[in-house]
C-alpha cells in the first residue's frame, strides 16, 4: 500500500488568528495610505518619539508585509510543513511593532489611550505567536499534533 504525502495539520485557532492577521493588515494598509498621502497619520503628541524618529510609511509597510506573511501562512497551513514559521514570524513582527509603539505612546502627552489599544493588540498577537510556536515545534519534531481548526 502506497502511503500518501504527509500532511502537517497545523494551525491552532485558525479563525482567531485570521482575525488578528486581518486587523493587522487593515491597520498597516490604512496607515501606509494615510502616510503616503502626507496626512498626519501619527501625531508625535499621541505616538511619541517613534512617530518623529521613524517614517510612518516604513512602519506601516513592515506591519503590512508581516501581516501578509502571517495570512499566507494561514492560507497554506498544513500543506507546507513550515507554514507555522511564517505565521510565527509575521505575528511576532506585528506584535513587536505594536508593543514598541505602545511604549512610545506612553511617553507622549496624549498617548495613554493609544498605549492601551496597542499593548492589547500586541498581547493578542503574542498569544497567536504562542500557538504558532507550539505548531512550529511540532513541525520541527516531525509530528502532527492532530488538531486542526
Partner 1 sequence: MTRIEYGIVGGLVAMLVLSMGALAITSDRWMRLERLQVLDAQHGAAIPIAYDREYFREFDGNWAVYVWALDKGEWSAFCTAQGSWPYTPSRPNPARTLAWLTTNDPRCMNLTPGDYVVDVAVTANPGSILERTARIRSNVFTVRQ
| Residue closer to partner 1, measured from CB, 40 or 148 | 40
Based on the shown chain and the rule CB under 8 A, indicate whether residue 101 belongs to the binding site for partner 1: no
Closest CA to 97 of 76, 70, 126, 69: 126
Of 23, 29, 62, 119, which lies in the binding site for partner 1, with binding defined by CB under 8 A?
62
3-state secondary structure of 107: coil
| Residue closer to partner 1, measured from CB, 86 or 99 | 86
Nearest distance from residue 145's CB to partner 1, in Å? 20
Closest CA to 87 of 68, 61, 63: 68
Non-local CB neighbours of 147 within 8 Å, separated by 6+ positions: 9, 12
Residues contributing to the site for partner 1 (CB under 8 A): 44, 52-55, 57-59, 61-62, 64-66, 68-69, 72, 76, 79-80, 86, 93
Amino acid at each position: 500500500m502506497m502511503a500518501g504525502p504527509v500532511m502537517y495539520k497545523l494551525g491552532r485557532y485558525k479563525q482567531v488568528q485570521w482575525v488578528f492577521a486581518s486587523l493587522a493588515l487593515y491597520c498597516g494598509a490604512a496607515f501606509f495610505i494615510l502616510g503616503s498621502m502626507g496626512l498626519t497619520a501619527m501625531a508625535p503628541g499621541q505616538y511619541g518619539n517613534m512617530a518623529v524618529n521613524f517614517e510612518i510609511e516604513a512602519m506601516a509597510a513592515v506591519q503590512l508585509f508581516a501581516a501578509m506573511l502571517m495570512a499566507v501562512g494561514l492560507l497554506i497551513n498544513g500543506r507546507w510543513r513550515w507554514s507555522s514559521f511564517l505565521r510565527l514570524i509575521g505575528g511576532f513582527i506585528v506584535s513587536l511593532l505594536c508593543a514598541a509603539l505602545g511604549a512610545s505612546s506612553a511617553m507622549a502627552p496624549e498617548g495613554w489611550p493609544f498605549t492601551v489599544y496597542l499593548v492589547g493588540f500586541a498581547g493578542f498577537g503574542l498569544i497567536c505567536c504562542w500557538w504558532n510556536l507550539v505548531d512550529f515545534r511540532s513541525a520541527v519534531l516531525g509530528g502532527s499534533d492532530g488538531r486542526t481548526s
